[in-house]
Amino acid sequence: MLLDNINNTIARELQVRTAQIDAAVQLLDDGNTVPFIARYRKEATGELEDEQLRTIEERLAYLRNFVKRQEEILNKIAEQGKLTDELKAAIEKTSKLQELEDIYLPYKQKKRTRAQKAKEKGLEPLAALLLQQKSAGSPEKEAAAYINPELEVGSAEEALAGAMDIIAEMISENAGLRQKLREKIQQTGVISTSLPKEKENTDEGRVFLMYKDYSEPVRTLPSHRILAINRGERLDCLKVRLEVDEERMLRLIEKEYIKGGSGFRPLLQEACADSWKRLLEPSLERELRSQLTEAAEKQAISIFGTNLKQLLLQAPLAGYTVMGLDPGYRTGCKMAVIDATGQVIDHGVLYITHGERGASEAARKALTLIKKHNVTLISIGNGTASLETEEFAAKLIKDNSLNVSYIITNEAGASVYSASPLAKEELPEYDVTIRGAVSIARRVQDPLAELVKIDPKAIGVGQYQHDVNQKQLADTLDQTIEAAVNHVGVELNTASQALLKHVAGINASVAKNIVAYRNANGAFKSRRELLKVARLGNAAFTQCAGFLRINGAASPLDNTPVHPESYGLAEKILARFGMKPSDLNDKASLALLQSKLKLVQPDRLAAELSAGVPTVKDIMEALTKPGRDPREELPAPLTRKAIVKLSDIKPGTIMRGTVRNITDFGVFVDIGIKQAGLIHISELSQKRIKHPLDVVSVGDILTVMVISVDEARGRIGLSLKQVPTQSAV
């Protein structure tokens, strides 16, 4: 592959025009962010989407590094004086790193091997003679000519042994043969595991009991089992081996190197067997395990990213005054009341589990606060003492006929946030425990705004997150958060520093400067005012402006996704209907505009205004929904008023629940009790599916049927495919 061919290669992979890739690459090289390109440079890229642009960015980096490696290898082989035109063409033709490294293997500098020592003894011609298999003489007779005590070759046997070492290494460095063997192992190889007897009754060992005597073909081994096996091996709980049909492998090798029935055949068979056992098998097993791990990590990271995005984009429960409860036994249940804007208006501790007197006092205190602040929703963390706290809330609502609902909230990461420097800065007057209750309350009001404050690895979605490449995981999660934040947009005058730093074009230091400017000068009155913020220049403004909203700005366009560079075009579109930007603030005018825009063909309007069709479409959509949060169109999270206990649940019970996590093997669903139920992948659909993500998303509200209950182990099996048409309970 040559550098000039990179864009063509990516275009073929994505099945788009090369011109689209050329434009995207140029925009990326110029420092533009993916969200900005996807949203505001559609004409240039032919409307490439966010995920396509991410792929282009990733492949561009990989292929540029690949070309750099090609050049390094060409130079190193040339320095050895071994670069032929044929070899150069073969290297330039490669498109995969594995192929490239296979070709380079014979020329790679390595420690002194048995073969290199044999070459130093002058035995390379003897190896070549044996491989030709043309001599009529016996191997020993041919080898006698290479006896040389000065070079430590004292006999014909020693000469033959050295020549066979050279042949064994030559076989192991045959790029074409390595690929054939690699493919055969991938098709027929089996990964086997065993659990040492002394580990069976240990806490660590019991986790891996299913792998005690386990084997599965390489080609069908799913990513979650690969990562589980890797973890077991790393903890010294599992012995892992690759099983292959050795005879078949030797036949493949011998077919390449042994011709007819010459007297050299037994020696060459021995060299083939040595090459396989000593060089090829260990090398190819390491390669295969590495490839399996890499693919499994990529899959796990992808699932984590998808789950996180779905979690971040859950519908907010805006407009509620929320009482957040962070359950606990000994230290009590921490409580915080926040208003509809997320400000703390009251807090305290409820001793729900401290006997009848404690519970009674807690009920009196909670009821007083609910009435005083008009609390409409209680958010209960799902950690320790969650069940008792839920029972308390349900009883409080029932006994007092309150027009209040409660919701069980995943509190993963709340403790991480509450002890963070950001939490101390945001809530300096409250201790760590109350900050956790605030987080539990806020994350139902606006999941995105609150969850971006927490290390995504602490949020509790995904699988085997600690077993994957941490840099790749962090990069993917950062990109996921960036995509979610810029998809929704950010209210400039209320956004936290943690939220602002994920807006396209804004880094952590600029986000800090924005908040400092806002604190010193009051609310921003226009997007243009951002240019007064320290270190936020024209380039950063271009990237970020369209994703920031200002409710109540002087220009209503500042509260829409319309980019400032397109305000002139937006005003022309409004003028086309006899309107101006200020009319967007008038409900009657806005309703009239909405009805008129429905009758307009964007391509015709774009032609009239000499503008790009994608931009005109986006502006038309933005003008009809000023200040609109795209998450409002999603179904609201599931709230409850009555509790369900594990003892109430029997097989056949129909329930409603919220998807909390998705893995390769199934879906965990919150059905209103402490234990999440599991829908195994086989219970998700009547037809065979490749992955649970093909059917459900994090945050989905499902009607499910209970198919098994194991109270002793706290496990509940659910089915989505067996739900009858009757109503859920």
| pLDDT tens, position by position, 119-178 | 999 999 999 999 999 877 899 999 999 999 999 999 999 999 999 999 999 999 999 999
- The Cα–Cα gap between 359 and 384 comes to 17
60-89 confidence digits (pLDDT tens): 999 999 999 999 999 999 999 999 999 999
Question: Residue 240 gets which letter from DSSP?
Answer: E
The SS3 call for residue 255 is helix
- CATH among 1.10.10.10, 3.10.110.10, 1.10.3720.10, 1.10.150.310 for 515-633: 1.10.150.310
Supply the DSSP symbol for 276: I
Which CATH number applies to 646-719? Answer: 2.40.50.140
Assess if CATH 3.20.20.480 describes domain 3-107.
no
**Could you read off the pLDDT of 287-314 as tens digits, one per residue?**
999 999 999 999 999 999 999 999 899 9
What is the dihedral sign for C-alpha 339, 343, 349, 351?
A: positive
728 confidence band (pLDDT: 50, 70, 90): very low
Residue 315 has pLDDT above 70, yes or no: yes
Q: Which residues of 404-442 are buried (b: 16+ CB within 10 A; e: fewer)?
A: bbbbbbbbbbbbbbbebeebeebbeebeebbbbbbbbbb
pLDDT at 647: 74
Three-state secondary structure along 122-139?
A: CCHHHHHHHHHCCCCCCH
465-475 mean pLDDT: 90
- Name the least confident of 308-312, 423-427, 624-628: 624-628
Residue 662 CB contacts under 8 Å (≥ 6 apart), including other chains: 303, 306, 307, 461, 668, 692, 693, 696, 697, 698
The SS3 assignment for 705 reads strand
Same fold? 3-107, 322-445: no
> What pLDDT does residue 643 have?
64
Q: What is the distance between the alpha carbons of residues 198 and 36, in angstroms, rounded to a whole number?
A: 57
Across the strands, what pairs with 346? 337
Confidence tier at 541 by pLDDT (50, 70, 90):
very high
The architecture of the domain spanning 115-299 is: Orthogonal Bundle (1.10)
What is the per-residue pLDDT for 44? 97
Number of H helices, E strands in the chain: 31, 15
**Residue 632 pLDDT more than 90?**
no
Average pLDDT, rounded, for the chain: 93
Q: How confident is the model at residue 724 (pLDDT cuts 50, 70, 90)?
A: low
- Average pLDDT of span 556-582: 96
Architecture per CATH, 322-445? 2-Layer Sandwich (3.30)
267: how many CB neighbours lie within 10 A of its CB?
Answer: 19
Name the nearest CA neighbour of 21 among 45, 54, 50: 45
Domain limits of the chain?
3-107, 115-299, 322-445, 515-633, 646-719
- Residue 110: what pLDDT? 84
Percent of the chain with pLDDT over 70: 98
Pairing of strands 715-719, 701-710: antiparallel
Give the pLDDT score at 216: 97
Q: In what order do the strands lie in the sheet with 377-381?
A: 344-350, 333-338, 322-326, 377-381, 405-409
Residue pair 100/68 in contact by the 8 Å Cβ criterion: no
Amino acid identity, position 155: S
Q: How confident is the model at residue 726 (pLDDT cuts 50, 70, 90)?
A: very low
Rg of the chain over Cα atoms, rounded to whole angstroms, equals 33
DSSP-based three-state secondary structure for 691: coil
Asked if the model's pLDDT at residue 646 lies above 90, the reply is no
Which helix (H) or strand (E) is 571 found in, with range?
helix 567-576
Do the Cβ atoms of 509 and 549 come closer than 8 Å?
no
Per the CB < 8 A criterion, the answer to whether 365 and 350 are in contact is yes
